[in-house]
Chains A and B, each alone.
Chain A
Amino acid sequence: MPSIPGSEAYSSDKEKSMAELLKVENLKTQFHTEGGVVKAVDGISYHIDEREIIGLVGESGCGKSVSQLSVMQLISTPGEIVGGEVIFEGQDLLKYKTHGPEMRSVRGAKIAMIFQEPMTSLNPVLTINQQLTEMLELHLGMSKKVARERAIELLGMVGIPSAHNRIDDYPHQFSGGMRQRVMIAMALSCSPKILIADEPTTALDVTTQAQLLELMKDMVERFKASLVIVTHNLGVVARYAQRIYIMYAGRIVEEGTIKDIFGKPRHPYTIGLLKCIPRLDEEEGRKLVPIEGLPPNLINMPPTCAFLPRCSYKVERCFQEPWPPLKRLHDRHYISCYANTEEKTGEPTER
């Protein structure tokens, strides 16, 4: 069953002057561990426009998930949000108390999240009905009966066959992909403005992954919501997102539209990532160019750029000055780098 590619999404992205929905400014989250302070998120700024799909890409431990949990204020000890602003509908969410009523009216209702692990993110002892209607009754004040109707409708929408028969089932009676569909239905139940999908398909098979991503894309279009895809998979964002943020060691190192990032990547890390992943359509005999070294340990980070030890573009300035701020290249393309990566794009120098 071939379906239509989402090409209209990016072609129209210039014309629609979209309003900013969420703006994160200089967000910092730290974890206090025995070894020292882990700066998991170290001053990131990003924004999401209305009805936009953005991708947050990085390797494990780069702070992409922590940044999203921080926006939702779901950070618990030993973690702590130490600074920044999260502006949503004119209000700074970080000013709200973590468990206060204001935050609760946002969390789950206006900003909803889908987690990676479909096996553990549903409560095994409650039926799907109990878990789905809870949100509807709580946030939208629906009666039990109305909530149940709505829950069945939602399940049908996310592609659960004969939803009215399955709504009283327990999570273990669903397969992994089906559970993730239930999670999507739950996340959408209060018609959120923003849906955050944290590695939503990593634990699933490729064909199921494709089904779910397609579903999520359709759903956010239908609900007129924005979608944040948090992933390490560059292919997924290339297919679904309109804009991308590349994260490394707790910071955003490059941002831009997908055409900017994949067409003219400018940060050495982004360039490296694109060279080190195998592609289905690559020519035979293509050599992968791995990024040498390891992602940094986030404890006791040097003030200089964290990518410096692995970078093949480094210049003198990188060793002397602190981590470079994001600078604008053109339009919506920003990088955080001192080196001139433009000419060399295509063939990074050998060490």
Chain B
Amino acid sequence: MNPLKDEAILDVRDLKMYFPVTRGLLRRKVADVKAVDGVTFKIRRGETLGLVGESGCGKTTIGRCVLRLYQPTSGSIFFEGEELSSLSESKMRRIRCNMALIFQDPYSSLDPRQSAGSIVGEPLKVHNWVGSQSEYNDRVEQLFRLVGLDSSMTDRFPHEFSGGQRQRIGVARALACEPSLIVCDEPISALDVSIQAQIINLLEELQAGIKGLTYLFIAHDLSVVKHISDRVAVMYLGHIVEITKSRTLYENPLHPYTKSLLSAVPIADPFVEEKRERIILKGEVPTPLNPPSGCSFHPRCFMATPECSQAVPPLRDVGAGHQVACIRV
């Protein structure tokens, strides 16, 4: 329905982000934390890609690499055709006008000493996006209305808002320079249940209203990710183990980790719960400092065979854009 739908706005290829672990006075490198270890995915213009996984799986790191808040160890990131990881810092600053970040914590992500209006207007100033003071004021008020805030609240300070309202301020700030890509890093997990839906709907309405607005939606809550995303990528220990349309994810999950993750999420309906199969995984997520050999999921996997520990399974297409990294499927 959208002519631009097939154009990849973001193309991440074999992205690796290792954080060195140093020790001693001389900061000798002793090991690497392989936060992201060879991740490849594309996001088409106007779609929402969900990135889901448990803490430490590298989903936040990917989001930050995309904005180049971290300098990736290797791999490339193409944003609107431009390769980001080799750009100079000043060129990158200009590009950041077109991409924005929404944070998890609506408390620490807003400067407590700035008024709400100046928080929202900050990107406009940074990028000289407006010509005059009156244009600036108009834009800030327009942004406030866009996210459902009263434009008379611009001179209030963050602590005078509720969590949901603060998150709206965060969204307004992200929208300020009309970015084409917004990385939403757990934007609702710090909010109350009844407020979460307000923010989800706001994000959905904005996407419906602003042509070509693309989201990389990072969260640990599978039901939220599935709800908002067109496609979902499931991550485990720095790898994407499965990417598929969000509908297929629930109906036909292929990777054993996806299956157990799905089954671990309870559905608020006892009639459905009664019939569901529950897969309770053994153990806990290993440390990315020393991930298991081969498929990093194999020690916890209920389908594992000896071959699983041999080599990292590649992500392969099993039809209709459904990709999975498992040799047993």
- A contact residues vs B (CB 8 Å cutoff): 1-3, 5, 7, 10, 59-60, 175, 177-178, 205-211, 214, 232-236, 238-240, 258-259, 262-263, 272-274, 276-282, 284, 286-292, 294-295
Contacts and interface: CB of A to CB of B under 8 A. Distances in A.
A210 B285 CA distance: 14
Contacts of A59: 192-194
A252 B96 CA distance: 48
Nearest to B162: A294
Nearest 8 A-B pairs (CB), nearest first? A235-B266, A278-B227, A276-B197, A290-B197, A210-B264, A234-B268, A205-B54, A239-B266
A280 to B, nearest CB: 5
B43 to A, nearest CB: 19
Interface residues of B, number: 51
B222 interface: yes
Contacts of A284: 246-247
Contacts of A292: 198
Contact of A279 (B223, B261, B263): B223
B269 A177 contact: no
B299 to A, nearest CB: 13
Given A235-B267, A259-B270, A262-B268, A5 B194 contact: no
B224 A278 contact: yes
A10 B266 CA distance: 17
B35 to A, nearest CB: 16
A333 B259 CA distance: 35
Contacts of A274: 268
30 contacts: A1-B302, A2-B280, A5-B275, A5-B278, A207-B285, A210-B263, A210-B281, A232-B193, A235-B223, A235-B268, A238-B268, A238-B269, A238-B273, A258-B270, A262-B270, A263-B270, A263-B271, A276-B194, A276-B196, A276-B197, A277-B223, A278-B200, A278-B228, A280-B222, A280-B250, A280-B262, A280-B267, A281-B250, A290-B195, A290-B201
A206 B54 contact: yes
A209 B222 CA distance: 13
A60 B163 CA distance: 11
Given A279-B267, A295-B194, A239 B273 contact: yes
Contacts of B165: 294
Contact of A288 (B227, B264, B266, B276): B227
A104 B277 CA distance: 42
Interface string B104-129: 00000000000000000000000000
A63 to B, nearest CB: 14
